[in-house]
Amino acid sequence: MDTFTPTHRHPAPRPGLGAGPMLLILLAALGLSACGSKEQAKPGQALASVNGSEITVLQLNEELQRAGAAGQQEAARKQLLESLIDRQLLTNEAAKEKLDRDPKVMQAIERAKALIIAQAYIQKRIGGQAKPTRAEVEAYFQQNPQFFGNRKQFDMRELVIATKDLSDPLKAQMDGAKSLDEVAAWLDANKVKYAPTQLTRTSADLPPELGAKLATMSKGQLFVIREGERSLLIQLSDIKDSPATLAASAPQIEQFLLNQKNKEAAEAELKRLRTAAKIEYFNKTDAVASADANARGVAGLK
């Protein structure tokens, strides 16, 4: 029985991947722009008033943009307007109880503000990156056949259990079983809770080491994947060729390469700022930890 503990995913060309850790921290601020400690003037035509606090067209349009629902039907707009009203009701009640003066809340607001400002700066600096050329897209396609021309599809059955239940007797059962049904019967007999599922993944969806290992397995083989507090008892039902064409993959590759350019530009800017700044550590342990963290971050970006 093989046991895997995936640690990362490969850089498969799908939108949203390719941002480095520091940039991801900044991007996380996008969902925090509603934070604030004081009621501010809200320009734009008022759509509703909640105990005297106006909700405007500008606010609604911003929410629609964030939800990716710009231009959606009236039902979506109404739903988001009702959500804004609910948010304003909660904000008003929090203000009455002076929660906006709570030290933890104020600290969270300051953190959100700093993240939003940092995000605005990094977006300004990396904005306007040149789109990947056709040649760059084709080169990535040719250099990564495991994601495209030689892509494999894996059909699998799973039993999801708590990792604490992955005992030595269960491992022995997995080693000797011929099917996942036998394992399920053992779990039932030993009153171990599990959830059965079926899934299909391609080699472009999996960490490289796992995809490569699955490609060498035979149909029906059993193995285990540990994922933190849960573990997956899996039987490989089928392996199929699932090639992807350049035409179908080009938009995703283009987005992935653009994300890579943005990541590199963000890292270069952070390096420039660190070089120009005077950074002092007042605790040697903090300095060592920071150096280790930076090294791990760089390693994770390779």
Is 117 a member of any domain? yes
The answer to whether residue 222 sits within a structural domain is: yes
Residue 266 included in any domain = no
Report if residue 11 sits inside a domain.
no
Tens digit of pLDDT for each residue in 201-250? 999 888 888 888 898 999 999 999 999 999 999 999 999 999 999 999 99
Are 99 and 161 members of one domain?
no
Among all chains, which residue has been given the structure tokens 């039932």?
A: 188
Identify the pLDDT of residue 185: 96
Supply the pLDDT for residue 10: 42
Instruction: Flag whether 170 is in a domain.
Output: yes
The model's pTM is 0.60
Could you tell me if 180 and 195 are in contact, meaning their C-beta atoms sit under 8 angstroms apart? no
Number of structural domains found in the chain? 2
Considering the domain architecture, whether residues 120 and 40 belong to the same structural domain is answered as yes
Of 206, 225, 241, the position where a domain reaches its end is 241
pLDDT(125) > 50: yes
Residue ending a domain, choose from 192, 217, 241: 241
Asked if residue 209 belongs to a domain, the reply is yes
**Do both 104 and 166 map to the same domain?**
no
Tell me the CB-side half-sphere exposure of residue 242, using CA atoms within 13 A: 17
Q: Answer whether residue 87 is part of any domain.
A: yes
User: What pLDDT does residue 278 have?
Assistant: 93
pLDDT of 269-287, one tens digit each?
Answer: 999 999 999 999 987 665 5
> Is 116 inside any structural domain?
yes
Q: Which of 241, 271, 287 is the last residue of a domain?
A: 241
pLDDT in tens, 22-73: 444 344 333 444 444 344 445 568 899 999 889 998 988 888 888 776 666 7
pLDDT tens per residue, range 240-280: 999 999 999 999 999 999 999 999 999 999 999 999 999 99
> Which of 10-19, 86-95, 140-149, 222-231 is least confident?
10-19
CATH of the domain at 197: 3.10.50
State the residue range of the domain holding 214.
Answer: 152-241
Q: What is the DSSP string of the chain?
A: -EEE--------S-TT----HHHHHHHGGGGGTT--SS-----S-EEEEETTEEEEHHHHHHHHHHTT-TT--HHHHHHHHHHHHHHHHHHHHHHHTTGGGSHHHHHHHHHHHHHHHHHHHHHHHHTTPPPPPHHHHHHHHHH-GGGTTT-EEEEEEEEEEEGGG--HHHHHHHHH-SSHHHHHHHHHHTT---EEEEEEEETTTS-HHHHHHHHTSPTT-EEEEEETTEEEEEEEEEEEE----HHHHHHHHHHHHHHHHHHHHHHHHHHHHHHHS----SSHHHHHHHHHHHHHHHHHT-
d(Cα 2, Cα 119) in Å, to the nearest integer? 43
The pLDDT tens digits of the residues spanning 126-156 come to 888 899 999 999 999 999 999 999 999 999 9
